Amino acid sequence: MHIITTRGRLTTVKQTLSSRQVSRAPLWRYLHPSGSQPSAFKLRPSVTGSCQFGSRQTVLPGALKTWEESQQACRQLYSDLATVVSPAESTRLLGAVQEPGELAWIGLYDNMAKWKWTMGHPDFDSNIDYHNWQFDNPKFKGTKDTCGTIRYNGLWRDEICDTERPFKFKHKLLFF
């Protein structure tokens, strides 16, 4: 079962569970998609968001943050910036970046040697990874402090990491 938090739907999820399941509903286990060790946490009413079961989803919080601030905000919710490894995942991200000029941070960064994903996926340049760069990007390849964004049309651009932008995060949770 996968859970994603966005504002206001926790009560809807509780209504669909049996009374026994609701009594255990505050306890969830986070599983990192790369298969790393799980860590437990409690889902409290103060955590903003809704819960959705099924496939992994993404959330766009309203605050503008630098890439590093965005990653920290995601990790405080036992998550990380979104990783886009297929056209389907790219399509899911488009719901919140709708204007032609909008960009949002994703979990892609340049470590001066190659582009990498923050969530422990294989190196970006491997043959199995999905690429969706906008024409003439990445512009700043091999430079420090360059991070990935996604545009309204699903194409990626590299940007200076200290620019404040919206961000996308993803997490996968299991009920137990």
How far from the centroid of its chain's Cα atoms is residue 140's Cα?
23
Enumerate domains of the chain plus CATH numbers: 10-175 (3.10.100.10)
Report field, pTM of the whole predicted structure over 0.75:
no
Q: Judge if the upstream peptide bond of residue 100 is cis by omega within 30 degrees of 0.
A: no
pLDDT truncated to tens, each residue of the chain (176 aa)? 334 444 444 333 333 333 333 333 333 333 333 334 333 333 322 222 222 223 444 455 567 889 998 888 878 777 778 888 788 878 877 765 666 677 888 888 887 777 888 876 555 545 446 789 999 888 877 677 899 988 888 899 999 999 888 776 555 443 33
Paired with 175 in beta bridges are 28
**In three state form, how does the secondary structure of 142-156 look?**
CCCCEEEEEECCCCE
Residue 138 contacts residue 43 (beta carbons within 8 Å): no
Q: Quote the tokens at residue 146.
A: 């360059």
